[in-house]
Amino acid sequence: MSFYRRIKYFLVHTLKHSNKVAQELIDKGHVEVNGLTIAENCILYANSEIKVNGIIEQEKKEFVYLKFHKPAGYESTLNKNIAQNLSAFFAHHNELFIAGRLDKQSEGLLILSNDGKWVEELCNPKFEKEKEYLVELDKPITTLFVTSFMNGVEIDAYLTKKCFCEKINETTIKVILTEGKNRQIRKMCKVLGYNVLKLKRTRVSNFLLTDLQLGKIEFIKI
């Protein structure tokens, strides 16, 4: 569960009280967090209920954390204005964010949550969370291909970071990245003379796809 900010920051920047008034509200016991009167400038969780002078200023929010096996043919978006979006799969969930998208042709693990800060920490490249893929290519894989892939490939005037690449069989590789450029694996393979026939993400950080079936959702315990 992610941290939000300190209560005084909320009083000043969200409710627009002065620093003096915010401190007085805390000192006089007029601020409650999750039903408890606070006496200091405590840290909040993003889903905390906040009452000031008995009035709810922020409702308690229940966070959900989900694994989803995205089928190929769907865009990694919940925007209903985009064709082949994923909204129908999540009709019973609101305000979800996607942690690390997959292109339309790819399948595999998506992580979603209504906890925006948690999602940011999971998918922002600066945190270097690992993402693992199985990739089927259109011709036999050479040692040169694997070595070149691991050492970085120049795509769109950008040299990709060194990564893990292992030959699984004649035409399949396992790839582990800590960055996520748009269609990165497909572009890297193209530069090296290969086309991707099938791409499946099997892991994001410590979350595994395992035996989750296509189009199915599973709750994650955090």
Q: What's the one-letter identity of residue 217? A: I
CA distance 19 to 121: 30
Residues catalogued as catalytic:
103
Q: Residue 63: how many CB atoms within 10 A of its CB?
A: 15
181 or 66, which is more confident: 66
Residue 18 burial by CB count (10 A; 0-12/13-18/19+): exposed, middle or buried?
A: exposed
Task: Indicate whether this model's pTM tops 0.95.
Answer: no
The topology under which CATH files domain 63-129+207-222 is: Alpha-Beta Plaits (3.30.70)
Residue range(s) of every CATH 3.30.70.1560 domain in the chain:
130-204
The CATH superfamily holding the domain 130-204 is Alpha-L RNA-binding motif (3.30.70.1560)
What are the residues facing 158 on neighbouring strands?
Answer: 155
Residues β-bridged to residue 67: 111, 218
- The predicted-structure confidence for 90-141, as pLDDT tens digits, reads as follows 998 888 999 989 999 999 999 999 988 889 889 888 889 999 999 999 999 9
Please list the residue range(s) of the chain that carry CATH number 3.30.70.580. 63-129+207-222
* pLDDT band with cut points at 50, 70 and 90 for residue 163: very high
Which residue intervals of the chain bear CATH 3.10.290.10?
Answer: 3-58
Q: Whats the size of the chain, residue-wise? A: 222
Cβ-proximal residues to 1 (8 Å cutoff; 6+ apart), any chain = 45, 46, 47, 63, 115, 118, 222
Q: Which two tokens stand for residue 15?
A: 């409710």
CATH number of 3-58: 3.10.290.10
In 3D, which of 220, 174, 218, 171 has the Cα closest to residue 200? 174
Quickly list H helices, the chain.
7-9, 19-27, 116-123, 143-151, 184-191
pLDDT at 180: 81
